[in-house]
Structure 1
């Protein structure tokens, strides 16, 4: 994860869940993430093709020039990109994976803004992962953001983080300080990480990412 917003939300979610695969929806406290609240959203998983915005931060709505509540997040893409995001969301809902991906958010003038997005599973009323906490984190703040709406956002990279692993930035923050006698951090198996620099197909059980190249191995189990 590259953006401060994405890292902050992931760390908050990780602390909430503890040793569980995912925290409960009612454990999420807006006051605890007030600094990034405008960049966050919550989705409701209705079926494999419908993930509706329950909540969307003010900065996200401003980026798209409209209120997003009630809209299906998959409608932001078409074709193979839509298929890939649907596969990603299925992994979040069904397997409890976290997901991070990169976009090239583009306005109708052709101006591009790189964005990092994360999906994090939440339990809701005892049901497994029917809510998804996420953020829309621009990597910079161009002058046109909020002035000229984003109209398309082709995918540039995808990554899945399984429930039993930690991303590198968290592992680095927990490295042993030899003078404090802490136990060494166990390095978990690498996540699935793919990018768009060379078209290819990659398959998870029951899921295929048709237009991305694999960068490093998937779950080792």
Structure 2
């Protein structure tokens, strides 16, 4: 299985390092300063008491792809009807099993030609015992003619469960192109372990 975008690589590596021996990291352990370059492609989702999954936070490029500010919007409303059940099941599976997923996404728009994206979905705990959030990224892997206000409808073309398969840190450092194969657990540190959360713009404090 091949990961194609550097944002996906970096977020997956950071997630694997920050969670340590846990199945999913605490939200308070995520330090956005470690992901400065990737922040425009990153988002956080939360499953509410009503069972709906909503964007808590979203980077500028995520909002550009979806054609609006998405904070507070339901995650599923941006997907094609035939993918709604599949994506809801994927979200519930990630929270229940705390296993990351990679989604190959086709962005469909009436205004411009379709574009391909890579979406990473990673489990996140709001408390030590509650896993109710996902940190993810949405990154273009094909040319996007116009990045602004596309209002694309998303289509899931493939979904891959990642289990504990992530690359060695030295394998990432030695990459000569923008892709790698996931086949080994990461064993080396990402950087200084964060001890607090620096919030992205928006969202409630908890």
Q: State the shift of 1:131 in Å.
A: 1.3
Q: Match for residue 141 of structure 2?
A: 139
Cα RMSD (Å): 2.2
Query: 1:6·1:116 contact (CA, 8 Å) conserved in 2?
Result: yes
Q: Match for residue 158 of structure 1?
A: 159
More strand as a share of residues: 1
Q: 2:39 aligns with which of 14, 20, 37?
A: 37
Q: Match for residue 208 of structure 1?
A: none
Q: 2:131 aligns with which of 122, 129, 132?
A: 129
- The 1:80/1:24 distance shift into structure 2, 3 A limit, reads same
Q: 1:83 aligns with which of 75, 82, 85?
A: 85
Using the size of structure 1 for normalisation, the TM-score is 0.72
Q: Which 4+ residue blocks in structure 1 deviate beyond 4 angstroms? A: 171-174
How far apart, in 1, do the equivalents of 2:34 and 2:66 lie?
A: 25
Q: State the shift of 1:78 in Å.
A: 4.0
Q: Match for residue 64 of structure 2?
A: 62
SS at match of 2:85: helix
How far apart, in 2, do the equivalents of 1:104 and 1:49 lie?
A: 26
Query: 2:111·2:150 contact (CA, 8 Å) conserved in 1?
Result: no
How far apart, in 2, do the equivalents of 1:48 and 1:133 lie?
A: 20
RCO higher in 1 or 2 (8 Å CA, sep ≥ 6)? 2
Consecutive unaligned residues in structure 2, runs of 5 or more: 172-182, 186-206
1:35-58 CA-to-partner distances (Å, cap 9, x unmatched) read 000100001112685111110001
- The 1:64/1:6 distance shift into structure 2, 3 A limit, reads same
SS at match of 1:63: helix
- The 1:39/1:33 distance shift into structure 2, 3 A limit, reads same
Consecutive unaligned residues in structure 1, runs of 5 or more: 175-185, 189-221
Q: Match for residue 7 of structure 1?
A: 9
- The 1:65/1:110 distance shift into structure 2, 3 A limit, reads closer
Count of residues in correspondence between the two structures = 173
How far apart, in 1, do the equivalents of 2:50 and 2:117 lie?
A: 24
